[in-house]
Amino acid sequence: MDCVFCAIAAGRLPAHQLYRDEDFIVLLDIFPMRPAHVLIVSRAHAPFLEDLPAAVRDRLLALADRMAAALRAAGYGREGINLLINDGPDSNQHVPHLHLHLIPRRRGDLPALLWRLLVRFLPLGRRRLQARLQAEAEQLRRALGEEN
Ligand SMILES: [Zn+2]
């Protein structure tokens, strides 16, 4: 059995990676619920938040704050961002490895389900999704590099 996030953290699977440090990797969700849907993933395999050392848990919020600033600098989520942790396998966690979602929102944005249907299931949406992820990753890496 292999965990997708462990495989990405170990470099065995490709990802649209934005950032990495000793505790976390940050990447774009390949099944986005909105444009520029970011995931902060612990490098250690940990289904629950409480599985992480306290010092690492504390750094998670600081990193989320930094990512939110980068998203806003790149033009996403100025009107709001959902920060979401599904804590544990039975909490709708699709990968049982701790990750924090940052989902940029805007007033009047499409319902998440409709947006997901458009980008995932329509052939044109699927083809555009890869290009979209690529462009968003470049934009957010730039925003992260420029913030100081
Ligand atoms: Zn894992």
Topology of the domain covering 4-146:
HIT family, subunit A (3.30.428)
pLDDT number for residue 124: 72
Q: pLDDT confidence of 147, banded at 50, 70, 90?
A: low
The amino acid that residue 65 corresponds to is D
Higher pLDDT, 112 or 18: 18
Ligand 1 mean position, distance from CA 74 (Å) = 29
Q: What is the mean pLDDT of the chain?
A: 92
What residues does 84 pair with on adjacent strands?
Answer: 101
**pTM (two decimals):** 0.92
* pLDDT tier for residue 125 given thresholds of 50, 70 and 90: confident
Nearest to 76 by CA among 35, 111, 114: 35
Instruction: Map out the domains of the chain as residue ranges.
Output: 4-146
Q: How many CB atoms lie within 10 A of CB 65?
A: 11
- Write the pLDDT tens digit of every residue in 18-77: 999 999 999 999 989 999 999 999 999 999 999 999 999 999 999 999 999 999 999 999
124 CA to middle of ligand 1, Å?
32
**Ligand 1 center–CA 25 separation, angstroms:** 12
Mark out the alpha helices in 43-122 (DSSP H runs).
54-73, 112-120
